[in-house]
Amino acid sequence: MIRRAAACLCLILASSALADPVPDPFAELAHRLLPSVVNISTSQNAKPEAPVRPPAEPGPASPFDEFFKDFFDHQGGGAPHGRKAIALGSGFIIDASGLVVTNNHVIADADEITVILQDDTNIKAELVGRDPKTDLALLRVKTDHPLVAVPWGDSDQAKVGDWVLAIGNPFGLGGTATGGILSAKAREINGGGPYDDFLQTDASINRGNSGGPLFNTKGQVIGINSAIFSPSGGSIGIGFAIPSDLASHVIDQFRDFGHVRRGYLGAEIQSVGPEVARDLGLDAPTGVLIADVLKDSPAAAAGIKPGDVILTMGGKPIADTRHLQRAVAEAAIDQDTPVKLWRQNATQTVELKVTEAKEPEQVATVPKKEQKPLTGGSEVKALGLTLAPVTPDLKDRFQLDDNASVVVTGVAAGGPAADKDLKPGDVVVEVAQEAVKGLDDITRKVDEAHKAGRKSVLMLIDRGGDLRFVAVRIDRG
């Protein structure tokens, strides 16, 4: 079970031949960093009409709901008549002016947030910004008390086996240090979303650890401790931290704008599998395939087209859709970013200027009508498909647009098209990257691919306005 880690003070002491040498003055490093790590106490006023949900527990919009169980110490949770629920977590100071980083789930729904310094000084904090998608939050405290800030490190440069140190507030004890090594990188623990890119460590992370920093041996923050894997509720040496390269970008957005400004591409994308890569002439299944480009979008303005494969963005390789989503989200708004494409068996570079993403508008659904069974059409046995020209009846039945010319009316059970989940009502837009105007175009391209000895043919399919490429196997029987 994946569980949230509330405040942690971890110093990872596991041995590894690949790890950096343990610094001689390891105790001196911990002593120097301790004043920069804070405890965070939050409280939420109970509502008489409903039980209190502790502030540390994420709201319904949090991507962690299904995977993380609240790991905080609570007092008075669910108490009626104005009593408060109290939760404890961790954080760290990134600016001596009073900026404190923590997890979003540490302060979610809190009515009052208190930052507790190493010398037990209590300071009321205000929320600067929070983001449930990355589980990050930034607080500000105002005080004459001298504050010691810690710098960000480069999590991309951190290597598996490196020694790491964590400091936090396990079980509300405060000022606790534990250590070990960086066990793994790029862990997906929440369904593989675009921000699932956790560092894994064998640091002892327990209740109260969330929001605490994970340091390298230079005293730089390379991660924010956020969760543990634990069947029992205690640490078993599998902890997860948000990497600093992701966190620092989000925190900078909070400082500058008070919220996260994420980039918008305006294209439908899909991963490149081995069959699609082969049909596109790629040496390996890498990059992200553009299935469709929205009108007046940043992608359209950059000249990106359906069928293009994005290989790099801003000089960084794009391995899959998750990497592209994160690269677009983190791209500088309204600034040119070079994007390397694979198009028609050659590479080329375009300049992409992403805009700020807006919340998607709600789209009304159209009730389905009761339909009669489909009849007629021409069978393409090599693909296991029955296809028909678009007629007024088919256009109305499948709510097709005016540009549709050929529609799927039947799929042979167990055939190549069925293996790719093609369905009646799918519109064939392209075959082998050539626009389809009629049935003859499809049979011709399939025959050409068959004679050339190809195992599959690449098809662009439109299903209810959603476009995707599929490499359909050619049945040579």
Same domain, 336 and 409: no
Domain match, 290 and 232 both: no
Give the whole-angstrom CA distance, residue 245 versus residue 136. 13
Quickly tell me which residue has 């989200």 as its tokens: 329
Of residues 2 and 341, the one with the higher pLDDT is 341
Q: Which residue has the higher pLDDT, 238 or 336?
A: 336
How far apart CA 234 and CA 178 sit, in angstroms, is 15
Over residues 456-466, mean pLDDT: 88
Q: 73, 135, 279, 292: which one is catalytic?
A: 135
* pTM assigned to the model: 0.68
The verdict on 329 and 466 lying in the same domain is no
- Compute the distance between CA of residue 278 and CA of residue 217 in angstroms, rounded to an integer: 45
Q: Measure the CA–CA gap between 86 and 265, rounded to whole angstroms.
A: 42
Residues 87 and 236 occupy one common structural domain: yes
Domain residues for 420?
378-473
CATH of the domain at 414: 2.30.42.10
Active site residue 135: yes
State the pairing for strand pair 163-168/136-141: unpaired
Q: Which two tokens stand for residue 23?
A: 């610094």
Let me know whether 315 and 431 are in one domain. no
Same domain for 124 and 233, yes or no, is yes
Do 89 and 193 sit in the same domain of this protein? yes
Same domain, 330 and 252: no
Residue 361 domain flag: no
8 Å CB contact between 100 and 90: no
Within-domain flag for 194: yes
pLDDT tier, 128 (very low <50, low <70, confident <90, very high otherwise): very high
State whether 390 and 284 are in the same domain: no
pLDDT value of residue 75: 40
Query: Distance between CA 12 and CA 24 in Å, rounded?
Result: 15
CA angle 429, 430, 433 (to 5 degrees): 150
Question: 36, 43, 90, 105: which one is catalytic?
Answer: 105
Handedness of CA 1, 163, 34, 214 (dihedral sign): negative
Query: Looking at 229, 260, 291, which one is the last position of a domain?
Result: 260
Q: What is the DSSP pairing of strand 213-215 with strand 163-168?
A: antiparallel
Query: pLDDT value at position 391?
Result: 85
pLDDT of residue 96: 95
Alpha-carbon distance of 428 to 405, in angstroms, equals 8
How many separate domains does the chain show? 3
Cα–Cα distances (Å) from 20 to 16, 182, 217, in that order, read 8, 11, 9
Question: Residues 18-65: pLDDT tens digits?
Answer: 445 555 567 888 899 999 999 999 887 765 544 443 333 333 333 343
Tell whether 266 is covered by a domain.
Answer: no
Domain identity same for 319 and 384: no
Cα torsion for 370, 464, 445, 283, to the nearest 10°?
-140
Catalytic residue, candidates 36, 62, 210, 226: 210
Residues 142 and 106 in one domain: yes
Give the pair of three-digit tokens for residue 289: 């395939």
- Residue 435 in any domain: the answer is yes
11 pLDDT above the threshold of 50: no
Nearest to residue 340, comparing CAs of 318, 298, 299, 311?
A: 311
Tens digit of pLDDT for each residue in 257-290? 999 888 999 999 998 989 899 999 999 999 999 9
Query: How sure is the predictor about 375, in pLDDT bands with cuts at 50, 70 and 90?
Result: low
To the query of whether residue 111 is one of the catalytic residues in this protein, the response is no
Domain for residue 273, yes or no? no
Asked whether residue 314 is assigned to any structural domain, the reply reads yes
Q: Provide the mean pLDDT of the chain.
A: 81
Domain with 135 in it: what CATH number?
2.40.10.120
Tell me how far apart the alpha carbons of residues 344 and 200 are, in angstroms, rounded to a whole number.
Answer: 40
Q: Decide if 201 is inside a domain.
A: yes
- Concerning whether 210 is annotated as a catalytic residue, the answer is yes
What pLDDT digit, counting tens, does each position of 282-341 carry?
999 999 999 999 989 999 999 999 999 999 999 999 988 888 988 998 888 999 999 999
Domain final residue, candidates 356, 387, 420: 356
Tell me what pLDDT residue 404 has. Answer: 86
53 and 196, same domain (yes or no): yes
CA 119: distance to chain centroid? Answer: 38
Within 13 Å, how many C-alpha atoms sit on residue 417's CB side?
Answer: 24
